[in-house]
Amino acid sequence: MKLSLSTRVAEAPKPRKDIALMPLPELARVAKNAGYRALCMRASQVGVQSSPQELKEARKVLDGMGLRVSMVSGNNDVPNNNDRVVMVLREIGKHLDVAEALGADLLRIGMKAHTDIPWARRACDEAAERGMRLAHQCHVCSLFETVEMSLQVVREVGRKNFGIIYEPSNLIVCGQDYGQKTIRALAPYMFNVYLQNWWNHPDGKITIGTWINGPVNYDLLPFGDPRGVDFRAVFAALAETGYDGYVTVHQVGTGMDIPTGVRQFADYLRSVASFE
């Protein structure tokens, strides 16, 4: 497995996910110094709104640091999971252009209705012509809210370059199993792993909407806090299935400054799993 850092860690608090709190050269340096192999790029840094020159400059920064791009979220509709999220599939060409410019072969997309499935097939076919893959995160208020529905949609899309981004915390707030059983079921379609540490409980300070459970309260915890995700069990199951792709830190807001948090996330993950 390879360790990746989402540029989300340097974004403004919700709902302003389009604002970067740290310029890309500085964030890349922080990631490199903490031992990450790649950045998961979001539009708060560069995306479909960026000029070809801006994309070229971003690639130059990352190449200079020896960092890859593990995945691209090309606009802010995808991380915001809003009603425009399907437009990524309908305008897939310009998103593939961004991924290609950054040297990435994986693009995150969003789906909210079964009518999005034909668009996903078309987008996958276009991506396949360029040697690229598409993936949807396990995410609230989407077709990938539950394990059963995620598997059903992937099979209905029916393209080898279409898969799932496994993310245990979103599964937790949706009342889903996130452990060995689920990892085994998702393994054939798992293109990326996102990690956050949410503790789902009635007095949680953060409220998130779900289709399956309505509003759910949770708290954001440091990695390793046993009230949240059992990371040791997650990595044991990933190892059992032979997963060897990127594991992406996707966590924000635990009270630490960005460089300290980025390093602590990496140090903890290295204590429970082996990375290249």
**pLDDT, position 15:** 60
From residue 126, alpha-carbon distances to 42, 132, 152 in Å are 21, 9, 22
User: pTM for the full model?
Assistant: 0.95
Going by C-alpha positions, the residue among 110, 108, 70 that lies closest to residue 86 is 110
Distance CA 272, CA 30 (A): 22
Buried b (16+ CB within 10 A) or exposed e, 220-250: bbebbeeebbebeebbebbeeeebebbbbbb
Distance CA 113, CA 133 (A): 21
270: tokens are 């290295």
pLDDT digits (tens, 9 = 90+) for 210-241: 999 999 999 999 999 999 999 999 999 999 99
pLDDT digits (tens, 9 = 90+) for 173-223: 999 999 999 999 999 999 999 999 999 999 999 999 999 999 999 999 999
Q: End-to-end distance of the chain based on CA atoms, in angstroms? A: 6
Pairing of strands 198-200, 214-220: antiparallel
- Mind listing the domains of the chain with CATH numbers? 2-272 (3.20.20.150)
